[in-house]
Amino acid sequence: MEKHDQFLMKKQNKNLVLDIIKRNSPVSRMEIAKITGMSPTSITRIVNELHEQGFVRETELVTSGVGRRATLLDVCGSVLYTIGIELDKFNVKIGIVNYVGEIIAFESFYRDAIERYEDTLKKLKKNIEELIDINNIPSTKIIGLAIGLPGYIDYKNGVVKVSDQLKWKNVKLAEDLKQLTSFSVIVDNELKMKVVAENFMGMAKDSQNAVLVGIGSGIGAAIILNGEIYRGESNNAGEIGHTMVNPTGNVCNCGKIGCLATYISEGAILADGRKVKDLDSIDDVFDAYRNGESWAVNLLDRTSMYIALAISNILSIYNPEVIILSGNTIEKFPEIKEAIEQKCDLYIWEPLKEKTKIVYSQFSNRGVVLGAAIQAQNKLLDIE
């Protein structure tokens, strides 16, 4: 038992040192010792082991004091790779990501909204294999893949319980895709994957408490509390689309009345717009706003109001350091940002205004892919 405990402690220390190098590189051995509280001798031993395994390399010498020079340490991006995937109603994105979080290969392809589950998996297998081959990535260096998709996900078992957008129910996605690709597979909600990217190298990088809000075909949130994803009892924490905002309002596809999604989602906006004008897509609503058509101005003004109310409620419940707004609506219709900020100024409780930043995701259409790949590293990498 004592040997087992010693082995576990050494392993934990090794992972801690590697994580510090990864997040703070370039960094010196002495800085690592100060951060960890470990002795310089222990740090040197661990760094030497990591160097032998290919994870760490030495960079240029720099002056660390009068007459002294320190060798800085960095991680090797090519030591391993993970694959990140975003599955959506009409689109699938795949990226290969190296150990330092760089997307070195990326592609997307169309998915039919009524496509069978088995056909989607076959396309995934084909496109993953082609992306690996085209970019000459050694399969032996790929430690696994992760998928982000909309819906209620049993992430522990890799099961999609319900995804309304994909029309899937109780499918064993992780198990089925592992059989096809031979890779270990992680499955989670798309926004939870995206907030991992934001926390690793995005707008929430230096935050212990952050909330990512996604606004597009649906409406949802992912929450970081004390540096960890907050999931709730059934991994449904953050499903703000089904918070009730009007008990006498619109009927939601969940069966309830007045859910937030029935006022903010693109489908809801489009449905209300079609009561006034013949419209093909959400882009027609945005164009009508830009042309000054009063119905579109009023409709999107109402949308910004409900978004601001959602932000206000999130702030009051979780009190995060930062709220990150993302999604198709924000990207395609940036004009809404100013309206949201103005209404937030009206609705947010005064003591919360000073401490919280409201920002916008910079990852565009690659955030879920990147976050999924990083989550695969976090969960699947096992350093002995």
pLDDT tens across 176-220, in order? 999 999 999 999 999 999 999 999 999 999 899 999 999 998 899
pLDDT of 325 reads 97
Q: Given a cut of 90, is residue 309 above it in pLDDT?
A: yes
Q: How far apart, in whole angstroms, are the C-alpha atoms of residue 30 and residue 188?
A: 38
Domain ranges of the chain: 2-75, 78-194+367-380, 205-362
**Which CATH number fits the domain 205-362, given the four candidates 3.30.420.40, 3.40.50.10320, 3.30.2320.50, 1.10.1740.10?**
3.30.420.40
pLDDT of 108 reads 94
* 266-279: average pLDDT: 95
* 77-99: average pLDDT: 95
Residue 278 region, left (φ>0) first, then alpha (ψ -120 to 50), else beta? Answer: beta
Q: Would 2-75 and 78-194+367-380 be classified into the same CATH topology?
A: no
The answer to whether 164 and 151 are in contact (CB under 8 A) is yes
* 77-94: average pLDDT: 94
Lowest mean pLDDT among 53-62, 193-202, 241-250: 53-62
Q: Given a cut of 60, is residue 64 above it in pLDDT?
A: no
pLDDT of 4 reads 59
Q: Which CATH class is domain 78-194+367-380?
A: alpha beta
The answer to whether 187 and 153 are in contact (CB under 8 A) is yes
Which residue would you say has higher pLDDT here, 70 or 315?
315
Q: How far apart, in whole angstroms, are the C-alpha atoms of residue 16 and residue 2?
A: 21
pLDDT of 202 reads 93
**Which CATH number fits the domain 2-75, given the four candidates 3.10.20.30, 1.10.1740.10, 1.10.10.200, 1.10.10.10?**
1.10.10.10
Both ends of the chain: CA-CA distance in Å?
18
pLDDT of 89 reads 85
Percentage of residues in the chain with pLDDT exceeding 90?
Answer: 80
- 92-142: per-residue pLDDT in tens? 999 999 999 999 999 999 999 889 999 999 999 999 999 999 999 999 999
Picking from 265, 243, 264, the residue whose alpha carbon sits closest to that of residue 316 is: 243
Confidence of residue 384 (pLDDT cuts 50, 70, 90): confident
pLDDT of 62 reads 59
Percentage of residues in the chain with pLDDT exceeding 70?
Answer: 96
Lowest mean pLDDT among 61-70, 73-82, 166-175, 177-186: 61-70
* 67-85: average pLDDT: 87
Confidence of residue 255 (pLDDT cuts 50, 70, 90): confident
Q: How far apart, in whole angstroms, are the C-alpha atoms of residue 312 and residue 245?
A: 13
Q: How far apart, in whole angstroms, are the C-alpha atoms of residue 369 and residue 209?
A: 22
